């Protein structure tokens, strides 16, 4: 199978010759400096490039153009992503797809127990049940062992949650973590992100149960030393038992882990810090999210977060340049898979994920197939226009009413499944009006006693029977994901046949439990939507 085009060529394709030359000279100097000293922050990453790996397979270089299809054009087809975000090249053999909530839960517990340097977890909230307590106990056990082994300064635990969701009720995420803060203060950090849009009179008037509709920290990243799980799942018991999501484990991918550790730290720096007495405070010099100036907070937060993205992108370009030089001399390639982190934080003026996702969908040409899934199907107008206006085939999977997370909820929230029925019917009718039923298909996920929360997509290029790209992470492709919340996902582009096979199996596993939507679907008695629900659906689309 063809290997990707060299990163040296990629750098020269992205930048002008003069700038590309600067990169080359900087990289050469860094390489020479390594023999003289070991203090460079960039060169400290050099051991990562020399980790023991299985013997690489010799591969030829692709010759396809940017519009090429099939395996020879995979790398060039998606090379434009490296122009916008960091690009991490990893062996596909280091990536494993987890398929069940229990696998996800057990993988986290096992890796927390064996962590030696860092545990970094970002989620909307931490639940308060027995399973969540066992997760906290694992952290306590790991921290205690580090002290007993005389490594008290080594293991650090950093938790990033949303302030509003994590503070709901008398027993909440904060009270679950307070014992760790009180016992392991120097090793423990709990950051609570508060959206700058919930302030003033609005903050006083919106009830606790609904204040998170204004905007939340929605990133789901779970990191243990040099391994990381990217998912859409929260740290709550039903995400560990009977709520279907997606979970991708990247083992021994230190550069990817470093990036997400830095990203969580950056968001944490502009968040409220939980104290051992359950009070909160901002780091010195940081603008308060709801007491300070709105524009000033967003500017500081955007600068801090984009510094992480920009630094990682530059560092990866330098390291990949050096790696490609060595590969050209040896004629081998160790990385067959690329990881592109995509961040979306519109309240802070960051919209990288939106830009990349729109282009990805726009470039999906005839004979390509996109399988797209969201637990809450609510495409933005921009995404919907792309889906209905391009030539690719789409199979869109969403939750049937009975597996919607709000099914059976009390009060206004109980109407949310019906609102999503109305949204799905509007979309289906639009597809039919445009005569695109043969190209765009809508599916509903069914599973008794389960709920559905999976999100992302699988991308099949023309002539391929397995996906070569996936998006996985926290975004739902809806209004909230794009405009209100902090989101992160990764795009994985791979030429590794085994990983492509895993992606195909994952996609087929989810779609096997679905049925295709037709006219008769909306004629069923349980699909009746009351008039008042239809009237409030535009509001629900923007806030849920």
pLDDT at 334: 67
405 contacts 517 by C-beta, under 8 angstroms: no
Scored b (16 or more CB within 10 A) or e, 195-209 reads bbbbbeeebeeeeee
- 133-164 exposure pattern, b = at least 16 Cβ within 10 A, e = fewer: eebbebbbebbeebeeeeeeeebbbbbbbbbb
Six token digits for residue 313: 């992108």
What is the DSSP pairing of strand 272-274 with strand 280-281? antiparallel
- Quick: pLDDT tens for 232-255: 999 999 999 999 999 999 999 999
β pairing state of 393-399 and 440-445: parallel
Q: Exactly one of 162, 225, 237, 245 is catalytic; name it.
A: 225
From 77, 94, 220, 346, active-site residue: 220
Whether 220 sits among the annotated catalytic residues: the reply is: yes
Instruction: Determine the pLDDT at residue 185.
Output: 92
pTM of the predicted protein model: 0.85
Alpha carbons 128 and 170: distance in angstroms, whole number: 11
- 172 φ/ψ angles, rounded to the nearest 5 degrees: -150, -170
Q: What are the boundaries of each domain within the chain? A: 74-324+335-375+455-512
The pLDDT score that the predictor gives to residue 14 is 39
Q: Give the active site residue among 156, 194, 218, 441.
A: 218
pLDDT score, position 329: 62
The rounded distance, in Å, linking the Cα atoms of 237 and 383 is 32
- The domain defined by 74-324+335-375+455-512 carries CATH number 3.30.870.10: yes
Q: Is residue 237 annotated as a catalytic residue, yes or no?
A: no
Residue 36's pLDDT is: 36
Q: Are 226 and 111 in contact (CB under 8 A)?
A: no
Q: How many CB atoms lie within 10 A of CB 519?
A: 10
Gap between the Cα atoms of 107 and 506, Å rounded:
18
With CA atoms as reference, report the closest residue to 109 among 397, 117, 101, 399. 101
Q: What DSSP letter does each residue of 199-213 carry, written as one string?
A: -HHHHHHS-TTTGGG
- Give the C-alpha separation, 295 to 469, whole Å: 37
| pLDDT tens digits, one per residue of 373-400 | 999 999 999 999 999 998 999 999 999 9
Model pLDDT, residue 417: 93
- As a whole number of Å, the end-to-end CA separation of the chain is 44
What torsion do the CA atoms of 327, 328, 333, 337 make, to the nearest 10 degrees? 100
Q: In this structure, are strands 227-231 and 440-445 parallel, antiparallel, or unpaired? A: unpaired
Is 288 among the residues known to form the active site? no
Task: Give the residue from 356, 354, 390, 364 showing the smallest Cα distance to 480.
Answer: 354
373 contact partners, CB below 8 Å, separation of at least 6? 396, 397, 398, 454, 455, 456, 457, 510
Give, for 2, the enclosing helix (H) or strand (E).
none
d(CA 20, CA 10): 10
> Of 95, 80, 49, 10, whose CA–CA distance to 494 is shortest?
95
Identify the pLDDT of residue 541: 86
Cα separation, 400 vs 306, in Å, equals: 38
What one-character DSSP code corresponds to residue 235? B
- H/E element holding 108? helix 101-114
Give how far Cα 86 sits from Cα of 44, 274, 335, 338, 340, Å.
18, 31, 15, 10, 6
Low-confidence ranges of the chain (pLDDT < 50): 1-72
Where b means 16+ CB within 10 Å and e means fewer, 41-57 reads ebbebeeebeeeeeeee
């Amino acid at each position: 199978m063809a290997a990707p085009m060299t990163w040296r060529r990629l750098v020269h394709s992205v930048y002008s010759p003069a700038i590309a030359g600067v990169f080359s000279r900087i990289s050469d100097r860094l390489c020479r400096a390594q023999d003289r000293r070991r203090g460079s922050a960039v060169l400290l990453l050099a051991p990562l490039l020399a980790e023991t790996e299985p013997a690489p397979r010799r591969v030829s270089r692709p010759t396809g153009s940017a519009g090429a299809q099939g395996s020879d054009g995979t790398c060039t087809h998606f090379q434009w992503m490296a122009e916008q975000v960091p690009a991490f090249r990893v062996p596909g053999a280091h990536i494993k797809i987890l398929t069940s909530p229990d696998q996800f839960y057990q993988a986290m517990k096992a890796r927390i127990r064996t962590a030696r340097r860092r545990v970094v977890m970002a989620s909307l909230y931490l639940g308060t049940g027995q399973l969540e307590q066992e997760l906290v106990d694992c952290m306590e056990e790991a921290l205690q062992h580090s002290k007993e082994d005389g490594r008290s300064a080594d293991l650090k635990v950093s938790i990033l949650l949303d302030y509003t969701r994590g503070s709901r009720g008398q027993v909440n995420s904060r009270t679950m973590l307070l014992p760790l803060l009180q016992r392991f203060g120097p090793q423990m950090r709990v950051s609570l992100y508060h959206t700058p849009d919930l302030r003033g009179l609005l903050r006083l008037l919106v009830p606790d149960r609904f204040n998170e509709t204004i905007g939340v920290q929605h990133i789901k990243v779970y990191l243990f030393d040099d391994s990381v799980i990217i998912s859409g799942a929260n740290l709550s018991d039903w995400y560990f038992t009977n709520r279907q999501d997606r979970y991708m484990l990247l083992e021994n991918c230190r550069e990817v882990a470093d990036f997400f550790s830095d990203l969580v730290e950056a968001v944490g720096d502009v968040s409220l810090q939980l104290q051992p007495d359950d009070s909160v405070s901002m780091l010195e010099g940081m603008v308060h999210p709801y007491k300070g100036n709105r524009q000033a907070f967003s500017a500081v937060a955007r600068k801090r977060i984009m510094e992480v993205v920009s630094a990682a992108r530059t560092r990866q370009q330098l390291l990949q340049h050096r790696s490609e030089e060595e590969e050209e001399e040896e004629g081998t390639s160790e990385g067959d898979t690329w990881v592109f982190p995509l961040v979306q934080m519109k309240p802070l003026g960051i919209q990288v994920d939106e830009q990349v996702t729109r282009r990805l969908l726009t470039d999906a040409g005839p004979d390509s197939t996109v399988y797209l899934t969201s637990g809450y199907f609510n495409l933005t107008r921009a995404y919907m226009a792309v889906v209905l206006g391009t030539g690719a085939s789409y199979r869109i999977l969403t939750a049937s009413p009975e597996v919607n997370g709000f099914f059976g909820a009390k009060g206004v929230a109980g109407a949310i499944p019906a609102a999503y029925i109305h949204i799905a019917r509007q979309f289906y009718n639009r597809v039919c009006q445009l005569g695109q039923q043969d190209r765009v298909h809508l599916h509903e996920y069914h599973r008794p006693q389960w709920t559905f929360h999976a999100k992302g997509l699988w991308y099949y290029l023309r002539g391929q029977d397995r996906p070569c790209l996936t998006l996985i992470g926290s975004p739902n492709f809806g209004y909230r994901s794009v405009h209100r919340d902090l989101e992160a996902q990764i795009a994985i582009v791979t030429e590794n046949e085994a990983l492509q096979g895993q992606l195909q199996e994952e996609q087929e596993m989810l779609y096997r439990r679905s049925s295709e939507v037709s006219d008769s679907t909306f004629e069923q008695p349980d699909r009746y939507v009351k008039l008042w629900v239809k009237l409030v659906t535009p509001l629900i689309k923007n806030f849920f």
